[in-house]
Structure 1
Amino acid sequence: MAKAITITCKNPGETFNLGVSLGKILVGGDVVTLQGELGAGKTCFTKGIAHGLGITNTNTVTSPSFTIINEYQGRLPLFHMDFYRLENEEVTSDLGLEEYLYGQGVTVIEWPERLAGIIPAGRLEVCFIFAAEDRREIVLIPHGKDWEERIAKIAENLVL
């Protein structure tokens, strides 16, 4: 099994900065899945990824709970998806999700377990755990590609 890395973030700023660090190393075709309870920091983290991808106005980055997919343009396109409201994989063909997942942009998915059958095997899984009211344990779990090496570099150079 791949080696996971756990990072403690003490506030939303640190969660954002971790996202920035990840965003800077993402390449076209990368898929990042986010798992955690409501309010765990998934959207804050995604705003950091957007900033790391060169999207300057991260205030426009919002949870796509009702739109399913939000698109942003940086050095690479960012496709932010939220599967919370989707009930089965049949809807994916109507939405064209495979085109995003296997395209040249970066895809970030909240609630990926709702449509687990379409999620690429090569991805970075990020789990958000409430460690305390003001603290999160963020676990980076590599799946395939060169994720293990890439997240090790993030951990080495991380300044929250």
Structure 2
Amino acid sequence: MQITFSLEQINAVAEQILAQKLKNVILFYGEMGAGKTTLIKNLAKSLGVKSPTNSPTFSLVNEYQTAENKLLYHFDMYRIKSENEAYDIGMEEYLYSGNWCFIEWPEKIPNLIPEEHSIIKIKLIDNGKRELILTS
């Protein structure tokens, strides 16, 4: 799936993404400011998360409950120095829990990524629009 959108359309984009056949682990690639966290917030909202969502930049992981009483884990690996830090927080347990795992900056933990995952790549293009490519 490939789409171009503006931030005003992000709710509809989140719905389109969730309508696809996705793996529980979704990797988010994109430069700083491309809209990864904003998209994840809207995906969480579309999954029925009621609590406020924010980037886990300092905590590495935030946990949310969806409308179906399932868990959603949002990871931000930007600040980790090595994969050992991810091991230390028990990341493998999260990744193989069967719950949603949304991971920003997955390139920092290449050896931890499960074989079964989906990928979302976002990049800024002209006029503040974004281009999104989803592979599952």
Q: Same fold (TM over 0.5)?
A: yes
Cα shift at 1:94: 1.3
Cα shift at 1:92: 2.3
Query: 2:27 aligns to what SS in structure 1?
Result: strand
Distance in 2 between the 1:16 and 1:111 partners?
A: 22
5+ residue gaps in structure 2?
A: none
Query: 2:108 aligns to what SS in structure 1?
Result: helix
Distance in 2 between the 1:12 and 1:67 partners?
A: 26
Cα shift at 1:16: 3.3
Query: 1:117 aligns to what SS in structure 2?
Result: coil
**How many residues get paired?**
134
Q: 1:128 to 1:12 in 2, by over 3 A?
A: same
AA partner of residue 15 (structure 1): I
Cα shift at 1:24: 5.9
Cα shift at 1:117: 0.8
AA partner of residue 79 (structure 2): R
Equivalent residue, structure 2, for 1:65: 57
Cα shift at 1:131: 1.3
Distance in 1 between the 2:98 and 2:57 partners?
A: 23
5+ residue gaps in structure 1?
A: 143-160
| Identity among equivalent pairs (%) | 33
Distance in 1 between the 2:16 and 2:50 partners?
A: 15
Distance in 1 between the 2:133 and 2:20 partners?
A: 17
Distance in 2 between the 1:77 and 1:24 partners?
A: 19
Distance in 2 between the 1:135 and 1:95 partners?
A: 35
Equivalent residue, structure 1, for 2:31: 37
Cα-Cα RMSD:
1.8
Q: Which has the higher helix share?
A: 1
Cα shift at 1:99: 0.8
- Structure 1 residues 35-77: Cα deviation after superposition (integer angstroms, max 9, x where no partner): 11111111111112112211134xx111111110001111221
Query: 1:32 aligns to what SS in structure 2?
Result: strand
